[in-house]
Amino acid sequence: MLTTNPFAENVLNIPSYALQGFLILMVIFTIGGVLLDMMHKKNVKFFFENAKKAKLSATKSVATGKKVSIIVKTLAHDVATSAEFCGVTRRITHLLGMYGTIFFWIASAVMIFNTASTSTFYPLLWHVGAIMTCVGGYWFWFVQRVDVRAEGNGWSRIVFADLFVLSLVATSTFGLLWSFFQASNSIGLATLFFVLFVISNVVLFGGVYWSKFAHMFYKPGAAIQKHLAEEDGSRDDLPEPADLPKQYGLGIKRSEPQNY
Ligand code: HEM
């Protein structure tokens, strides 16, 4: 199963051109959803206006070479290693989910556009990516969500903001189950999970406008801007950290922050 391309000779015998059309539709949904989101929230407009405003309170100018090095460092550290998460386990689940999803999407595209290939690498990448997303996603969902971990709500409480994480783990879960039952020739269950796989993808990509999906495009830009603002002294109009030892009192030791 792990080294078989599930899209080639899939259970419903859907031709590769239809699978390719579906994938392109999902890309269009993503681009459309992000553009609509930007127009609705005006966040990109705010971002650039804020960056322009920040420049006015800059205390020094940053050379282009330095700017490039800040951007490269931010991408290599903050973005690639999910360094914005202070909690180690929260960071691990995000890394599992992020890289798992990236592997899964890349492998899906390669396998859908090259169903004739006999390479075992991409099928393996697809299955490993799906498993990583499930481990990271379910770990986050059952244990680490703010409303479960910090606010004491039950794991089964579902709110609209969960649309992204739930549809994300659903695509990986249904994909794995479809592949498993297809490999073991259980046609009925393979058909069921294939249909659920298609529906969960439509929800994930069709729901970009309403979900947290777009954060993967916004967060890197915000992290770069934050570091540039630290370097040019504008610091987003925030005060510099005090040059004093951290003293929060004993209370903070009684209840360690857990959610982030
Ligand atoms: C394929 C790429 C990615 C996936 C699948 C992914 C997945 C997730 C998920 C499932 C959550 C939890 C959402 C929730 O609260 O329901 C999350 C939150 C978060 N992600 Fe990502 N992520 C990706 C890319 C990125 C990138 C590139 C960055 C940063 C540069 C980033 C930074 C964050 C941060 C800071 C949070 C927590 C705060 C928040 O919810 O806004 N993510 N991500």
Does residue 222 line the site of ligand 1, with CB under 6 A?
no
Residue 240 domain-assigned? no
- pLDDT value at position 29? 97
Q: Does residue 207's CB lie within 6 angstroms of at least one atom of ligand 1? A: no
123-169 pLDDT, tens digit per residue, is 999 999 999 999 999 999 998 887 777 777 877 888 888 999 999 99
Judged by average pLDDT, the poorest of 110-119, 184-193, 234-243 is: 234-243
| Number of domains within the chain | 1
Q: Which residue's alpha carbon is at the smallest distance from atom 40 of ligand 1?
A: 212
* Residue 221 near ligand 1, beta carbon < 6 Å: no
Which of 141, 216, 225, 260 to probe ligand 1 with, by most ligand atoms within 8 A of CB? 216
Q: Which residues of 170-198 are buried (b: 16+ CB within 10 A; e: fewer)?
A: bbbbbbbbbbbbbeeeeeeebbbbbebbb
Token duo for residue 60: 């020094």
What are 237's two structure tokens? 């109009």
DSSP letter string, 161-185: GGHHHHHHHHHHHHHHHHHHHHHTT
In a domain, 71, yes or no: yes
Nearest-CA neighbor of 203 among 211, 192, 215, 214?
211
**Structure tokens that stand for 208 in this block:** 């970009």
Instruction: Return the pLDDT at 133.
Output: 98
Q: Which of 123, 128, 174 is nearest to 8 (CA)?
A: 123
Comparing 10-14, 17-21, 185-189, 192-196, which segment has the lowest mean pLDDT? 10-14
pLDDT score for 52: 82
Confidence of residue 31 (pLDDT cuts 50, 70, 90): very high
% residues pLDDT > 90 (the chain): 63
| 83 pLDDT higher than 70 | yes
**Does 255 map to a domain?**
no
Report pLDDT for 176.
Answer: 98
Q: What domain range is 222 assigned to?
A: 16-235
Mention every residue, 6+ apart, whose C-beta is less than 8 A from residue 18: none
Residue 3 lies in a domain: no
Mean pLDDT value of segment 227-250: 83
Q: What is the mean pLDDT of residues 13-29?
A: 95
Please indicate, yes or no, if residue 2 is contained in any of the structural domains. Answer: no
pLDDT for residue 258: 62
CA 9 to chain CA centroid, Å, is 30
220 lines ligand 1 (CB under 6 A): yes
Within a domain: 241: no
Distance between Cα 82 and ligand 1 center (Å): 8
Asked whether residue 10 is assigned to any structural domain, the reply reads no
Of residues 110 and 116, more confidently modeled: 110
Q: Is residue 35 part of a domain?
A: yes
User: Cα of 9 to ligand 1 centre, how many Å?
Assistant: 34
Kindly report the average pLDDT of the chain as a whole number. 90
C-beta of 101 in contact with ligand 1 (< 6 A): yes
- Ligand 1 centroid to 45 CA: how many Å? 22
- In this structure, the residue with its CA closest to atom 1 of ligand 1 is 98
Q: Is the CB of 164 under 6 A from ligand 1?
A: yes
